[in-house]
């Protein structure tokens, strides 16, 4: 065969191999002139390499490594390898059209014509027909699944191995790189966590199975990037992957993983409150070929994004912001409009303050910003506002938010508005009776928004207060400097005309109650003047979503709120008063949290590897009405996959009991997570830590 034709065929077949076709290039050589030696097999040393790269936890039989760290493999030939005379290439390809210039076709050469490439390679040793080599993916390597080929190069041409999925290679981000100074065990390796919710006066939590190491989850996370058409060139840049991920976990505009819904009607999917972890969601998304999963709200978005980032190797945590502002009017003020009788005017109130809102932080260097803005970065995939045309948020530096440096990418002003108590004015208006429909301020609270920001404490289920990472102390010089900096960066001034002092203060007190219990309100009134004051006051009670949106107003009678309850609902009480002697007005409000009924988990037997033990989940219906169409989930990362049971109804006072037999495969601490959910009662959860011997 002429040399020119052979080269053309070789190039053509190389392209086909890059596309996943199976060829061996023996046909390029005349029958009388075969290569003098052949490749036999390659040992990827999966167990040893995974241990060295902190990837042993992935339930995946392929080799998984972290970039910028050497992994060692052994290649066997049919004769000894001669480093001075022989030439061997290890080729790693990703994508449909591998290109050396784009980093999607990597060649690591060994032997007499060794040349430098993107990845470093070295011969570690030779014994018999085996050669041991070390390979180091470069620090900016594309993350994903590479196809591996061994190519023998001779004067007659190349002999490349067939495609063998068993020697495919996954490359991930490396949080163990110098400069990535954070707790990797908590923020990369921990596969179960706590997401905090509730409200500022009643902080509650639920366990969440991140499950980043579960079977199929890594491939599902890579599918998210593929389905979102994220260019391979972007996948070596952590900033790009993080920003793309914050868009792709929601399906608002790009057929991402989750459909957000706050409608209350989840009959066409799963209620957000029913999920117990990310693997079920990501695996369903992959199984359905990239069809968005229904439904999610902020903590579900945050839980799945946490899994996505940790799975790819980026340190990530979930953060909860209590009294989180959503400023629809864009004036950095949260405006609550009252009717003349003191009730919240739902049609005119466009802004809202969420009881809580969950987002994520990722820990990374920001080479695109000054050095002091590296570290924790806010990302948020709950679809609230668009950024560069897509529903996403971040990454934005937490340090930049704290210091009012809002001109750096990405979305710093939006996050600043969610947490900044001195720039967010909590204004309550009373409609005037003039023909222009003007309003007047009757109350301003500059400390209402961003009262508390927390995340799970390392090695504990308690929370860590990280408010000081976002804001300087109230009234401090640093805080004033931050506001001045923010105003220079374009945010609205916090100047306002405060309402005149009424001389009387009011405070509403109430305790957290169980759903269905009676509530007790105490209104404390303090006269700070020397005159007698006559106060006329109206107390309005309404059911409110956790997003701060009011649902229904109810009478202040015992249990009168029950017919109006919505998912994750709390009770909002608004007091509006007028002093008859001077006509001045005053108001206050209080959110009363409602605790759901209890769900219990009990273990029978001692959990031991290879031995059965039983887990029983129990629930009693404490209400005087029937619960219908109940879902019960039980799961535990590293122990059992999600078990879903459905029940037609539970009568008043009736009980439910579900028992599962489990045979542990791995020792260590495990967390059992259970959740009961139905249309009339949401957020009924429980968790139990056990130790498998």
Cα–Cα distance between 400 and 414 in angstroms, integer? 12
Q: What is the DSSP string of 366-405?
A: -TTS-GGG-EEEEE--S-SSEETTEE----EEHHHHHHT-
Cα–Cα distance between 507 and 194 in angstroms, integer? 33
Say whether 298 is catalytic.
yes
Say whether 327 is catalytic.
no
Cα–Cα distance between 192 and 532 in angstroms, integer? 59
Neighbours of 179 (CB within 10 A): 7
Burial of 162-177, coded b for 16+ CB within 10 Å and e otherwise, reads: ebeeebbbbbbbbbee
Give me the residues paired with residue 259 across strands: 294
Burial of 617-645, coded b for 16+ CB within 10 Å and e otherwise, reads: bbbebeeeeebeebbbbbbbbbbbbbbee
Catalytic residue chosen out of the listed positions 357, 542, 675, 678 = 357
State how beta strands 157-160 and 39-43 pair: unpaired
Helix, strand or coil, per DSSP, at residue 53: coil
| H or E, element range at 537 | strand 535-544
- Per the CB < 8 A criterion, the answer to whether 294 and 266 are in contact is yes
Neighbours of 240 (CB within 10 A): 15
Three-state helix/strand/coil letters over 22-47: CCCHHHHCCCCCCCCCCEEEEECCHH
Tokens of 661: 């037999």
**Site of tokens 């919505």:** 566
Burial of 296-333, coded b for 16+ CB within 10 Å and e otherwise, reads: bbbbbbbbbbbbbbbbbbbbbbbbbbbbbbbbeeeebb
State how beta strands 668-677 and 655-662 pair: unpaired
Cα–Cα distance between 154 and 167 in angstroms, integer? 24
| H or E, element range at 489 | none
Instruction: Name the nearest CA neighbour of 428 among 450, 446, 451, 444.
Output: 444
- Per the CB < 8 A criterion, the answer to whether 220 and 286 are in contact is yes
Cα–Cα distance between 281 and 290 in angstroms, integer? 11
Catalytic residue chosen out of the listed positions 191, 327, 351, 380 = 380
Q: Where are the beta strands (DSSP E) in 78-233?
A: 87-93, 105-111, 120-127, 130-136, 144-154, 157-160, 169-172, 192-199, 202-209
Say whether 41 is catalytic.
no
Cα–Cα distance between 54 and 411 in angstroms, integer? 33
Catalytic residue chosen out of the listed positions 141, 221, 294, 298 = 298
DSSP symbol at 494? -
**Site of tokens 């006051």:** 537
| H or E, element range at 502 | none
Instruction: Name the nearest CA neighbour of 386 among 254, 234, 291.
Output: 254
- Which sign does the torsion angle of CA 511, 515, 519, 525 carry? positive
- Give the residue numbers marked as catalytic: 298, 357, 380
């Amino acid at each position: 065969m002429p040399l020119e034709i052979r080269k053309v065929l070789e190039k053509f077949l190389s392209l086909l191999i890059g596309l996943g076709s199976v060829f061996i290039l023996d046909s390029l050589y005349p029958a009388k002139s075969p290569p003098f030696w052949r490749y036999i097999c390659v040992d990827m040393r999966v167990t040893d390499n995974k241990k060295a790269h902190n990837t042993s936890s992935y339930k995946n039989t392929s080799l998984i490594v972290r970039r910028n760290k050497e992994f060692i493999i052994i290649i066997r030939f049919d004769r000894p390898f001669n480093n001075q005379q022989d030439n061997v290439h290890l080729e790693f390809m990703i994508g449909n059209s591998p290109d050396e210039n784009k980093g999607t076709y990597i060649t690591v050469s060994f032997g007499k014509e060794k040349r430098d490439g993107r990845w470093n390679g070295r011969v570690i040793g030779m014994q018999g027909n085996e050669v041991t080599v070390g390979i180091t993916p470069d620090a900016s390597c594309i993350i994903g699944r590479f196809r591996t080929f061994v190519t023998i190069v001779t004067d007659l041409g190349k002999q490349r191995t067939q495609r063998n999925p068993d020697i495919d290679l996954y490359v991930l981000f490396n949080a163990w790189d110098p400069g990535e100074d954070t707790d990797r065990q908590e923020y990369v390796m921990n596969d179960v966590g706590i997401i905090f919710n509730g409200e500022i006066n009643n902080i509650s939590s639920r366990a969440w199975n991140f499950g980043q190491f579960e079977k199929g989850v890594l491939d599902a996370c890579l599918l998210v990037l593929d389905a979102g058409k994220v260019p391979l060139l972007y996948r070596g840049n952590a900033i790009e992957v993080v920003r793309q991920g914050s868009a792709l976990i929601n399906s608002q505009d790009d057929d991402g993983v989750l459909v957000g819904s706050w409608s209350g009607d989840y009959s066409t999917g799963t209620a957000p409150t029913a999920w117990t972890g990310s693997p079920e969601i990501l695996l369903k998304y992959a199984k359905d070929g990239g069809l968005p999963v229904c439904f999610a709200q902020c903590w579900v978005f945050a839980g799945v994004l946490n899994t996505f980032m940790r799975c790819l190797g980026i340190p990530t945590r979930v953060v909860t912001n209590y009294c989180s502002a959503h400023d629809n009017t864009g004036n950095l003020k949260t405006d609550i409009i009252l009717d003349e009788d003191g009730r919240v005017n739902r049609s005119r109130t466009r802004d809202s303050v969420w009881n809580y809102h969950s987002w994520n932080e990722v820990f990374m260097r920001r080479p695109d910003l000054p050095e002091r803005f590296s570290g924790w970065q806010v990302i948020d995939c709950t679809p609230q506002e668009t950024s560069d045309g897509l529903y996403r948020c971040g990454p934005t530096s937490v340090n930049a938010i704290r210091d009012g440096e809002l001109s750096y990418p990405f979305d710093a002003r939006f996050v600043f508005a969610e947490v900044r108590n001195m720039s967010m004015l909590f204004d309550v208006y009373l409609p005037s009776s003039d023909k222009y429909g003007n309003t007047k301020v009757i109350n301003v609270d500059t400390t209402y928004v961003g009262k508390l920001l927390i995340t799970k404490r390392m090695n504990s289920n308690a929370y860590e207060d990280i408010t000081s990472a976002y804001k300087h102390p109230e009234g401090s010089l640093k805080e004033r400097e931050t506001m001045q900096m923010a105003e220079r960066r374009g945010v609205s001034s916090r100047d306002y005309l405060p309402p005149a002092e009424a001389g009387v203060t009011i405070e509403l007190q109430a305790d957290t109650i169980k759903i269905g219990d009676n509530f007790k309100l105490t209104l404390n009134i303090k006269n700070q003047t020397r005159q007698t004051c006559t106060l006329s006051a109206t107390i309005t009670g309404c059911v409110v979503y956790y997003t701060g949106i009011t649902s229904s107003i109810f009478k202040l009678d015992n249990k009168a709120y029950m017919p109006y309850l919505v998912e994750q609902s709390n009770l909002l009480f608004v007091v509006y008063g007028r002093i008859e002697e001077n006509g001045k007005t005053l108001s206050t409000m209080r959110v009363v949290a409602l605790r759901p009924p209890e769900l219990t988990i009990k273990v029978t037997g001692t959990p031991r590897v290879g031995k059965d033990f039983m887990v029983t989940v129990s629930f009693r219906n404490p209400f005087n009405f029937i619960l219908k169409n109940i879902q019960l989930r039980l799961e535990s990362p590293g122990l059992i996959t999600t078990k879903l049971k459905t029940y037609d109804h539970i009568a008043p006072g009736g009980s439910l009991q579900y028992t599962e037999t489990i045979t542990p495969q791995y020792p260590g601490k495990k967390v059992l997570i259970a959740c009961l959910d139905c249309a009339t009662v949401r957020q009924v959860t429980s968790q139990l830590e056990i130790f498998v011997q």
